[in-house]
Structure 1
């Protein structure tokens, strides 16, 4: 997502969120919060989740007066940071920037799951959402998912796709495509992040990729460096109304919503949850936050029932992961 803003400038501008936060004013007088709130981002700085967490914190701080500290705890596909928050004291002072990978894929597909994506957390606020997509190098002679399926069947084992890492939502997207395409023989190549995987597709070292849809991915498509065959969402995106969805192509199960949301440990007191959730509503309605999210190629997802959303996502992916026999080895 570097095409439309300077990541370095953004990181410098937001790095001081915790160290030089605004005063608590009335919030300290009410009892919560009376100290900084730590937001654990279970990925390295500069990635999609990290950027969305910083956008949320940048908007939340002036709206509330809270001091928000971004703490990157990367590793194991996000599991290290998620485990830390799941085991943290549930007092409202430790939050997780959780994603589809940390809350859904890791707990369901891990050989030895160390936390439960539903029972160990309570959603505080949605931050952003985006589907994944299926992209190919322009040299590949296909222009649709059906043509890609036909090519993979004609050349079993010859095609490879790159993901952001084993067990990530982009890995799951690739395996889902192979499954719904008729158990295709396509090799998975795991990278340390979506950026390196996309770089190798652009360079032609890989024929395919299954990245999260973003302004950067769309820019590469527009420039002809890659070809987006389909977006894995039920409807076309406002940012790319000319690109068909996988559902339109007849692949109904190819719906992969990648969310970023803030979660508190289960058992967090109701007053703290209420304060944080009210703040979340204000952030989602903040014009500057909306502009930042849309500039990054993401979209807002306003939920009427956050718990139902998580239950529905968990139920759907639990079924598919079992059908696909998708596993993350310990």
Structure 2
């Protein structure tokens, strides 16, 4: 009798979960962006949200939860109800590097369900206009000649700009003084104002200021030029061969979110990525679209684990300390 009751309860729960997934969404969805408004993560999320609303037929709100290199925002998603109404935007910094730096109180792999890989962003080496260098080789010489370590803006320990800065130190042997911000948008503001020397920044964040002439660009960290910024050489061309880094992004939901709901969210993102207007906006930002066969939740999960294996040793060897 007891087994029959338990079986009936299990069937009821499964049936209720399926009905919930069928009715999803029935009220507004929130995408948690773990960095400040106006930055590249925020911009990508808002472009996606605007288009996903048409597929899901429900409002999608953006919530900026800043601090601790994005780990506070990710934690907000981990603790949310697993019902599909809270989605986390993350990237190489928040969903890989932070696990090697912070005592998170959650597991980046097991406490989240992957939804989809998003467009990636090559980095770009930029400086304040007061730096006299006009080429990457001249910039490296100028940085090496400083009596004190030059200042490099980051979005906090473990952010993409911080990892890129550590990688830059490793490749060039130049020691940097990292200056943390709550996102690369405020870091870029200070670079324009001449308060810091350089940022190894996301291309999408810096390209508008480069075009406006308020900061100086030296190279993109890719093995080929970016179509939307074809006048900027690659690091290979500019004299720093092999310095390649792409900041990829993705969406996650809390663990135990029903698979049917994950599938609906995944499909809504794919619809958005296939929209020519959305693709044009991303391409104008210098973003690179992921291959179609890498747009499954499973592909994002596999990629995240591979990136953890790649980057954690370097980050831990650098003995990163929280600013």
Q: TM-score range by the shorter chain?
A: 0.7 to 0.9
The count of aligned residue pairs is 300
Do the aligned partners of residues 148 and 29 (structure 1) sit closer, same or farther apart at CA in structure 2, a change above 3 Å counting? Answer: closer
**Cα contact 1:107–1:115 (8 A) shared by 2:** no
Of 63, 68, 73, the residue aligned with 1:76 is 68
Q: Tell me which residue corresponds to 1:317.
A: 311
Q: String of CA shifts for 1:205-225, please: whole Å, max 9, x gaps.
A: 3322222112x6224334443
**What is the CA-CA distance between 1:246 and the residue it aligns to?**
2.2
Of 8, 32, 38, the residue aligned with 1:40 is 32
Q: Tell me which residue corresponds to 2:198.
A: 208
**Cα contact 1:123–1:307 (8 A) shared by 2:** yes
Give me the whole-angstrom Cα distance separating, in 2, the residues matched to 1:29 and 1:242.
48
Q: Tell me which residue corresponds to 2:11.
A: none
Partner secondary structure for residue 30 of structure 1? helix
Q: Tell me which residue corresponds to 1:18.
A: none
Q: Give unpaired runs (5+ residues) of structure 2.
A: 1-18
**Cα contact 1:160–1:206 (8 A) shared by 2:** yes
Give me the whole-angstrom Cα distance separating, in 1, the residues matched to 2:114 and 2:20.
23
Q: Tell me which residue corresponds to 1:61.
A: 53
Q: Give unpaired runs (5+ residues) of structure 1.
A: 1-26
C-alpha RMSD of the superposition: 2.6
Give me the whole-angstrom Cα distance separating, in 2, the residues matched to 1:45 and 1:225.
21
Which is helix-richer, 1 or 2? 2
Q: Tell me which residue corresponds to 2:95.
A: 103
Structure possessing the higher radius of gyration over alpha carbons: 2
Give me the whole-angstrom Cα distance separating, in 1, the residues matched to 2:300 and 2:224.
21
Q: Tell me which residue corresponds to 2:108.
A: 117
Of 192, 199, 212, the residue aligned with 2:189 is 199
**What is the CA-CA distance between 1:252 and the residue it aligns to?**
5.2
**What is the CA-CA distance between 1:291 and the residue it aligns to?**
2.5
Of 200, 225, 231, the residue aligned with 2:214 is 225
Do the aligned partners of residues 296 and 272 (structure 1) sit closer, same or farther apart at CA in structure 2, a change above 3 Å counting? Answer: same
**Cα contact 1:144–1:229 (8 A) shared by 2:** yes
**What is the CA-CA distance between 1:29 and the residue it aligns to?**
9.3
Give me the whole-angstrom Cα distance separating, in 1, the residues matched to 2:198 and 2:38.
23
1:270 lines up with 2:251 in the alignment: no
Q: String of CA shifts for 1:120-171, please: whole Å, max 9, x gaps.
A: 2222123332122111234434344443333333335252222233432112
